[in-house]
Amino acid sequence: MAKLTVRDLDVRGKRVFMRVDYNVPMEEKDGQMVINDATRIVETLPTLKFLVAKGAKVILAAHLGRPKGKREATMSLAPAAVKLSELLGKPVKFVDDCIGEKVESAVAAMKDGDVTLLENVRYYNEEEANDPAFAEKLARLADVYVNDAFGAAHRAHASTAGVAQVIAKRGGSWKIPRGRSSSSSAARKFPTRSRSLTVCSKRRTRF
């Protein structure tokens, strides 16, 4: 079966769960957390812009620091949503959780081309434990999974490995051979009623 590039994915109207690496350096200034270096956010723009242009509903998941299962205000991804909105040139909705009814409602309200950033997945210990139940809750949000988190792709965590496995059971997955760039990344199509695609890569998408 032929390999498909990211460009070949039919994502219009689909919920794309995209794992990104927004573990960016921050510092507190005047009582607010400020991003010092947005390089990791900037590096996701090509993939994001492409998916948005294709009409995908993009749900971004990431971690920040090591909160060890607790809600640490200094490790919230809220500032990343603000910065991404500036860089992307369009609104980015931020949801202060990554699972549950609040998140599912926010995703259900998304329109084609919308982008939503979820709160730090490491606010839950289940993320680093790759807990199957937690991965299932994350996977409920997605029709398609894309891993663009270069710095975290090697970790067997719920948002990097568990979600992909859940979606693979619905449809199928194609893992990129070691050393291949994700410009040739993508997915395998399966003749299921609600086809799911999994895109796994070890390197950043290039167009």
CATH code of residue 109: 3.40.50.1260
Residue 1 covered by a domain:
no
Lowest mean pLDDT among 7-21, 163-177, 178-192: 178-192
User: From the CB of residue 170, how many other CB atoms can be counted at a distance below 10 Å?
Assistant: 17
What is the predicted pLDDT for the residue at 154? 61
pLDDT at 195 over 60: no
Q: What average pLDDT score do residues 91-111 get? A: 97
Confidence of residue 111 (pLDDT cuts 50, 70, 90): very high
Residue 53 covered by a domain:
yes
Q: Count structural domains, the chain.
A: 1
Residue 205 covered by a domain:
no
What is the predicted pLDDT for the residue at 199? 54
Domain hosting 135: range is 6-200
Residue 207 covered by a domain:
no
The string of DSSP letters for 140-196 reads TT-SEEEE--TTTTTS--IIIIIHHHHHHHHSEEEEPPTT--GGG--------TT--
pLDDT at 175 over 50: no
What is the predicted pLDDT for the residue at 120? 97
Residue 154 covered by a domain:
yes
